[in-house]
Amino acid sequence: MRVVLAERIRRGEPSKLKELEALARTMGYEVVGKLTQVREPDPAYQIGEGKARELRRLVKAVKAQRVIFANELSPSQAYNLAKIVGNEVIDRIQLILEIFAMRAGSPEAKLQVEYARLRYELPRIRERIRYGLSVEQPGLKGGGEYEVDVQYDAIKRRLATLRKKLASISVRRMQLRKHRKRRGFKLVALAGYTNSGKSTLLNALTAGGAKVDDMYFTTLTPRTRIVKKCTKILLTDTVGFIDNLPPWMIEAFKATLEEIYLADLVLVVLDGSEPIPEILRKYKVVSEVLKEYGVKTVIVLNKRDLMSTAEIREKLKLLNGFSAPVIAVSALRGDNLESLIETIRGYA
């Protein structure tokens, strides 16, 4: 599918289109145009009305089928934009939900993704029906207030059921962790921004078997393996982090994220090949979440094969300010993994 990416940012705010493009590519979309407007949000269109017309011209010129906004759109904004542009307009959260739906292989991930999608739908139902837009619920078509209530209640009931199922997954995982700890295992978890190399590191340190891909959210379901040559350390790989997720999305993945929060030690994996501001931004996204749980961390500056010696030194020096040990490795080449294992032994 040919897509145009659009965003509205405030003066001085960095563009989010690069990351949005990586997300779009993960869905296999071809990005054929981009549009950025610097202004305060417009209540009707998010961007200005004149800019929305420019967007329409761009979409026609490049023959795009869809527009994806980096900003979160209210249902009425999405509707107004679609009317002007003449094509479907979605936002970043919808795109992430699509990726999750595509990646959800396990029953656990499927439940989490369904929960997240319905949480997204719920506050939007009324407006969608008011605007004559269909809600993606089979057998339920738009109509009057009565239909709205029926749909609303159906989704609420389904959410309650899902919440129970997810809670029991969470309990099962907790029992498994307890059992492992009783058997003398130390639980080490990988955390990090999506695409930082967590699964590659799992494969390098264990008998692995995790799927690796230069796309976002390749991993959704936790995978735990014994670390080679350390029979008492278990390493768990899980879903990656991304900036600006609504709280209900994090709630949906609670059972999975608990593998990180409740570990004995967390390896925070950073893609060291990126520019320093990106490394810091992504480190912040992960550490802000972990902070609440007071879990011990080791910072792993990954992809050192893509950095010069001077660059490695500079980045290590910078990260040394964060009160967690830092170690530079290449998960792909297997560089410096021995000292990473030594560090893990020392802290776990």
Ligand X SMILES: Nc1nc2c(ncn2[C@@H]2O[C@H](COP(=O)(O)OP(=O)(O)OP(=O)(O)O)[C@@H](O)[C@H]2O)c(=O)[nH]1
Residue ranges binding Mg ion (CB under 5 A): 199, 218-219
The secondary structure of residue 131, as a DSSP letter, is T
Size of the site for ligand X (CB under 6 A): 23
Cβ neighbours, 10 Å, residue 344: 23
Beta-carbon contacts of 109 under 8 Å, excluding residues fewer than 6 positions away, are 100, 103, 220, 221, 256
The contact mask relative to ligand X for 260-299 (x = CB under 6 A, - = no) is ----------------------------------------
* Minimum separation from the CB atom of position 237 to ligand X (A): 7
Q: What token pair was written down for 153?
A: 């209640």
* Minimum separation from the CB atom of position 26 to Mg ion (A): 12
46 sits near ligand X (criterion: CB under 6 A): no
Listing from the earlier edge strand, what are the strands of the sheet with 30-38? 30-38, 2-9, 66-69, 88-91
Question: Which of Mg ion, ligand X, none has residue 42 at its interface (CB below 5 to 8 Å by kind)?
Answer: none
Q: What token pair was written down for 160?
A: 């309650």
Residue range at the interface with ligand X (CB under 6 A); choices 17-25, 166-174, 210-218, 252-260: 210-218
Distance of alpha carbon 3 from alpha carbon 227, whole angstroms = 43
Residue range at the interface with ligand X (CB under 6 A); choices 15-23, 223-231, 286-294, 324-332: 324-332
Question: Which of Mg ion, ligand X, none has residue 208 at its interface (CB below 5 to 8 Å by kind)?
Answer: none
195 sits near ligand X (criterion: CB under 6 A): yes
The secondary structure of residue 321, as a DSSP letter, is G
| DSSP letter for each residue of 205-269 | HBS------SSTT---S-EEEEBTT-TTEEEEE-PPB-SS--HHHHHHTHHHHHHHHTSSEEEEE
206 sits near ligand X (criterion: CB under 6 A): no
- Give the residue with the Cβ less far from Mg ion, 218 or 236: 218
199 sits near ligand X (criterion: CB under 6 A): yes
Residues 265, 296 contacting (CB under 8 angstroms): yes
306 sits near ligand X (criterion: CB under 6 A): yes
Cβ neighbours, 10 Å, residue 112: 27
The secondary structure of residue 85, as a DSSP letter, is H
Pick out residues in 212-251 that bind ligand X (CB under 6 A). Answer: 212-214, 216-219, 240
- Give the residue with the Cβ less far from Mg ion, 76 or 106: 106
* Minimum separation from the CB atom of position 289 to ligand X (A): 15
Contact positions toward ligand X, by CB under 6 A? 192, 194-200, 212-214, 216-219, 240, 302-303, 305-306, 330-332
